[in-house]
Structure 1
């Protein structure tokens, strides 16, 4: 794929991801209006609805990145390529179906594993939600399998646009919940003991139906890409045996990573009850639901640029690795690190400055205590955004070489940092800060992971153009400091004139965010950082074309 092709692919994916993430924020707003952002019901649903995501990542998510794209890229260079894809999809669908049935039956065990609720009624509600939500695992898997095949065929857009359908369906369902039962302030659903079967079915059913739609909409796109799937059984001669070793090590790494999240989930679920015991109102304490909202904000800039660009570059990295083009891999990785770094450094500065206004906008109907609790977690998480972006690019390089084994020690170290950090937060901090402490531990883990990965890859590739990458990052950081100073100053002035309501928060985000962006772009120009041009070039070309 050419540079222009990569940029166009990244721009197409970024646009789809941007729409999906914006809808994701709207979904979070509607859901917070329906059941609140903190409290027993919100935390119970957060644990249950996270289970299919966790299980998908553990069972299939990373394996798809590790083996599917490199293998399919090679398969389509052979005459029997489609047969290989058919066998892989058939096996994947069968494994997903079997795992989904078994894990749904184990819902009570999984809820008990990933939560530490002190209230039996809340635990029972979470388990009921889980029976509705865990079947999402199968459809997440179908979405992942079909989407990665589309990516390998050079069709990037549908995979990134499909989550928008998911969010639309969920928003409609949550909106119907509000229409039928009212908002959390008047419906009384904050307390787990008040929930009825109809309320559970409508809320959790809407979430699951959205995931079903996300998978189904990829089927027409697959046909347009020239992929005509036929169920085929049998592994002999398919090449899957060679890929099995990669999958095994990928699963090992993901399993280790989930141990870290398991500790975080248990600490977060225990925080509200512990705070109540200390005399703090439970609905003003960050728990699993607050963690999810904070992580959604954290992931927004990562999804807009890092995931889109890394996915577009991955096919090129895989081809270069297959052709033993070390210089090409090094150049592609360097380009990705620099462009991602320029964006994530600014995103970090902007979100730190605007953490509270952004949170108040998303949680428009939440209490002031809930917004404050979530904002503290957002700041702790987002400080690790640049390192997380670099770690994501390094992962793609390992996957391009089908070397998941080398990442396992790194993932062990990262998981240990997260688990120990979350545990230390529980031991040393007051309950209101437990989830923020876990977010800070995540930030440290990304720094550790990116640091070890770059050291290993530098040895493997004979360098990663480190001096150039560090130079760009240093200049971008300086520009971000200037931008943050402008943002803080303007925000303080606006707070003198404006209240703390929803409209005031929207104005603060719009004005401060715009001025910070302009200040950052100007500083990058003065510092002669050109990576911003590479990032914006597809957009600028479209605008120029529109004028014509």
Structure 2
């Protein structure tokens, strides 16, 4: 547990810096290009390379490659060095070819994710995609380097490298604000503007990847191209990867449906005069805020857990695997339970404070916050689902997650289509967020049952009891935040000042009350935090 805490703390610090600078990046870009047509065109073009990377390699990294690297480092005479060199050679070559191919196929790729757009909006998104798609190769090499660092218990660089990426893109956004005369108006944007946004975005990923490669070299890895790929155990890799690729393909088909529904809802909303952007960009920005606590807490702990869970599985220590998972879930939930409730209550205040400037109106920002409120309900179920998948991955099982993804995607598609057809156009994207929340809640429950059956139990009764106590401790604070929200709205309009008031007083009092109640209830994960704060305060008072 102490190793998880140490590794998690290192990664959480880097992830916090990454998410904060990522938030700054989003704020700058939103201020520059808005949340309407130009924002949608950029966000779809920006999303496509990440989708393709996931289809080709992203899911395989955590589910297949990390466990195989762990086994190679344990079993091979050279500590897995040659295996890693072959793997990096293959990834560099394959993703380089894919990057070139996707640039040539940018137009049909954009067409998959955006139907119902005007011809000009589509052309702008295609142009941006041609500048952004080459980052697939850079992102892939950097991601593999990060995974190799993780297997060496080097967690800092993979979590801090995105900060450099974000800083580069922040500089690009500021430059656009200064020199572009188009602003959010897609009809006035020039080829030079699009080149700045597209190449600047790719430059950020390039800088991130170079930093990770340098860190890997400093960790003792010397790269030498190896083309004896028959020694890469491609058969084993392929058998495991095929189901992971199936999983990723299913989730991306679901995401493509969500993107098309959101962009279509945005176009309809614009036609009927809805006074805020209601397309894919508000959904994307709300999802980004939703992932802040997930990325800082859950991803950090999960990334530290997977190599050790894989090692426990390789050594047939299933009891240790169960304990590792159970401890990680309780640690993550201690922070995510109150965070999810606060997002569900104070979402509009948070988004108003962050986004209501430049090309984003107050109505746009409030709409983003309403989507965020619904996403807040999914924070704990979504995070636990992602952690549960690591149980299967550590055991080398990539087939079960693929079938689970199919069920969740099908359920989400049905609910998403229902929200599109039955909700008013201005609220359809909120319905898509609700479909996401309901689908992952049901998916988490089903996944827990299957994972528990697979390893002979996951301390379910213990975890359920702790989660119930955490919610009991968090609900009073949530009610305080809700009361502060109602009081502020009754006294004044929703402005930046009132949003700050709600967040500082309502959010601050809510978290403080949660810590006090949870400590009194002797929830171990919270008591250690409270006692650590108290000890630090005592030491500071003595030094004075």
Q: Same fold (TM over 0.5)?
A: yes
Task: Say if 2:221 is the partner of 1:222.
Answer: no
For 1:543 and 1:86, the matched residues in 2 are separated by 49
Q: CA RMSD in A?
A: 1.9
For 1:543 and 1:403, the matched residues in 2 are separated by 47
For 2:129 and 2:280, the matched residues in 1 are separated by 15
Offset at residue 194 of structure 1 (A): 1.4
Deviation readout 1:419-438 (Å, 9 max, x if unpaired): 22221111111111111111
For 1:8 and 1:310, the matched residues in 2 are separated by 13
Deviation readout 1:247-306 (Å, 9 max, x if unpaired): 11100111011111010000111112211333324xx03211111110110100000100
Task: Say if 2:419 is the partner of 1:414.
Answer: no
Offset at residue 539 of structure 1 (A): 8.4
Q: Could you tell me which residue of structure 1 aligns to residue 4 of structure 2?
A: 6
Offset at residue 215 of structure 1 (A): 0.6
Q: Could you tell me which residue of structure 1 aligns to residue 463 of structure 2?
A: 469
2:385–2:447 Cα contact (<8 Å) kept? yes
Q: Could you tell me which residue of structure 2 aligns to residue 520 of structure 1?
A: 514
Choose which of 386, 393, 403 in structure 2 pairs with 1:392. Answer: 386
> Which residues of 2 match residues 129-144 of structure 1 at below 5 A?
129-144=128-143
TM-score by length of 1: 0.94
Task: Say if 2:73 is the partner of 1:69.
Answer: no
For 2:488 and 2:421, the matched residues in 1 are separated by 39
Task: Say if 2:309 is the partner of 1:317.
Answer: yes
> Which residues of 2 match residues 35-434 of structure 1 at below 5 A?
35-36=33-34, 38-77=35-74, 78-80=76-78, 81-181=80-180, 187-281=181-275, 284-365=276-357, 366-434=360-428
Offset at residue 220 of structure 1 (A): 2.1
For 1:537 and 1:322, the matched residues in 2 are separated by 37
For 1:382 and 1:537, the matched residues in 2 are separated by 28
Offset at residue 545 of structure 1 (A): 8.8
Deviation readout 1:62-81 (Å, 9 max, x if unpaired): 00111221111122223231
Deviation readout 1:3-59 (Å, 9 max, x if unpaired): 3222111001000000110111111111111111x2111111111111111111111
Offset at residue 406 of structure 1 (A): 1.2
1:413–1:448 Cα contact (<8 Å) kept? no
Q: Could you tell me which residue of structure 2 aligns to residue 21 of structure 1?
A: 19
Offset at residue 541 of structure 1 (A): 8.7
Closer, same or farther: CA 496–121 of 1 in aligned 2, 3 Å = same
Closer, same or farther: CA 213–544 of 1 in aligned 2, 3 Å = farther
2:32–2:176 Cα contact (<8 Å) kept? yes
More off after superposition, 86-95 vs 419-428: 419-428
Deviation readout 1:443-492 (Å, 9 max, x if unpaired): 11211221121111111111110000100111111122111011112233
Offset at residue 232 of structure 1 (A): 0.7
For 1:220 and 1:406, the matched residues in 2 are separated by 36
Deviation readout 1:297-336 (Å, 9 max, x if unpaired): 0100000100000111111101101011111111111111
Aligned partner of residue 500 in structure 1, secondary structure: coil
Deviation readout 1:181-225 (Å, 9 max, x if unpaired): 2xxxxx444332211111101122221111111111112211221
Q: Could you tell me which residue of structure 2 aligns to residue 184 of structure 1?
A: none
Aligned partner of residue 130 in structure 1, secondary structure: helix
Aligned partner of residue 229 in structure 2, secondary structure: coil
1:271–1:285 Cα contact (<8 Å) kept? no
More off after superposition, 97-106 vs 494-503: 494-503
Aligned partner of residue 193 in structure 1, secondary structure: coil
Unmatched runs of 5 consecutive residues or more in structure 1 = 182-186
Aligned partner of residue 229 in structure 1, secondary structure: coil
2:42–2:128 Cα contact (<8 Å) kept? yes
For 2:488 and 2:179, the matched residues in 1 are separated by 38
Deviation readout 1:136-195 (Å, 9 max, x if unpaired): 2111111210000000011001000111111000001100111112xxxxx444332211
More off after superposition, 525-534 vs 205-214: 525-534
For 1:110 and 1:534, the matched residues in 2 are separated by 50
For 1:173 and 1:100, the matched residues in 2 are separated by 22
2:481–2:502 Cα contact (<8 Å) kept? no
For 1:544 and 1:91, the matched residues in 2 are separated by 55
Unmatched runs of 5 consecutive residues or more in structure 2 = none
